[in-house]
Amino acid sequence: TGVWAVKGPKQVTADQGSLLAVSCSYEPGYELNSKYWCRQSFLWFCCTNIIQTSGSEVTVTQGRVSIRDNHTAHSFMVTQSGVTLGDAGRYSCGVKRKLWFSTSHTTRVM
């Protein structure tokens, strides 16, 4: 498996008040790993965790954000309702790995 095992859009645009949806795909073999969505700070290596799965396909919702993993499609979807200007920024979708650094992909939300 490669180091960059997660792929997703480089940039997504959402109108204020609308629903933001970001789909991230991952390499086979990571189905049971926890998937996460975090917001990056000005330090590239700092990412504030917003939501994550338990490794199952159950939808997890916290506030306006939800995340759902699809093991068959090797992808997970993050949705956020009621988008505001304050939600703009850089985010990462990623897969937590036990013995190695987590692998993630950065998406810019406009």
How far apart, in whole angstroms, are the C-alpha atoms of residue 83 and residue 73?
Answer: 27
Per the CB < 8 A criterion, the answer to whether 52 and 34 are in contact is yes
One digit per residue, the tens of pLDDT, for the chain of length 110 reads 445 689 999 999 999 999 999 999 999 999 999 999 999 987 767 889 999 999 999 999 999 999 999 999 999 999 999 999 999 999 999 999 877 767 788 899 99
Look-up of token digits 């920024």: 89
Residue ranges of domains in the chain, CATH in brackets? 17-96 (2.60.40.10)
pLDDT at 103: 79
